Structure 1
């Protein structure tokens, strides 16, 4: 199905890209909650995974890595610190280095075996070639719509 591109013809709601992206997000978040429970959010999981990959990362770098603004990242770090899953070490110039605690590492160790099956379930309705194409297009969409340091603000 092609989407009309003229402003004369309204796009049906069920074909609007924004609506479809929102619905895909709802499906992904719902599948995540069914799989991992509600004690951790997908964004918190992304923060933990980023810190697992790069221990001691500062909050500004972390915000960039998980595509969040710095104040949201600070709020999430505060919540994860309160849960005992990360520690925040004060660095010069009021920055903070973040690290997983043993409890945070245990949370991830418990979650990781269920991650691949969760995504397989989420994408199960697509044929294998469609899954690959869907993920390729998602990566391209995100990459092309993510500003870089070289991109002037719009």
Structure 2
């Protein structure tokens, strides 16, 4: 029996505009559109995520990078090839056909140029919500992603996940 704090199946409306999946899809559309408006079209949001992760953790191999940003390995490999062709990263061959990825100075310069747009994007996405609602939304999004991570085609894996597995 559902309590007032639980969400029962009957509590979720079948109205399209109240369905979580539809709202998440629309939020993603809005976020990508605003990314292009405020950050530009030189990189995609996914390419930006890859570059930022390489900035945070230089020298990651492609498989670990894919796990850290929640992408499948073939998509990550395709993105790495594109970013290397643009001169923003280098891929070094490691044993067992793995590749180590590093930002180039041009890649770091690009990220430095993108920071004002990303800051504006983060502000604009939450503008008008008020500080408490904005923090609640972020908290709930993190919780949603955490609770449903294993349902993803490419689950996010962190360093702490890897340590637990060993």
Instruction: Give the deviation of 1:125 after TM superposition.
Output: 2.3
The structure whose RCO (Cα within 8 Å, separation 6+) is larger is 2
Does residue 21 of structure 1 match 2:13? no
* SS of match in other structure, 1:6: helix
Distance across 2 between alignment mates of 1:121 and 1:103: 27
Matches within 5 A, 1:1-154: 5-6=9-10, 11-147=14-150
TM, length-normalised to structure 2: 0.83
Runs of 4+ in 1 over 2 A off after TM superposition: 147-150
- Equivalent residue for 2:153? none
Distance across 2 between alignment mates of 1:60 and 1:4: 38
Distance across 1 between alignment mates of 2:10 and 2:112: 50
Contiguous gaps of at least 5 residues in structure 2: 1-6, 151-156
* SS of match in other structure, 1:57: coil
TM, length-normalised to structure 1: 0.89
How many equivalent pairs are there? 148
Q: CA RMSD in A?
A: 2.1
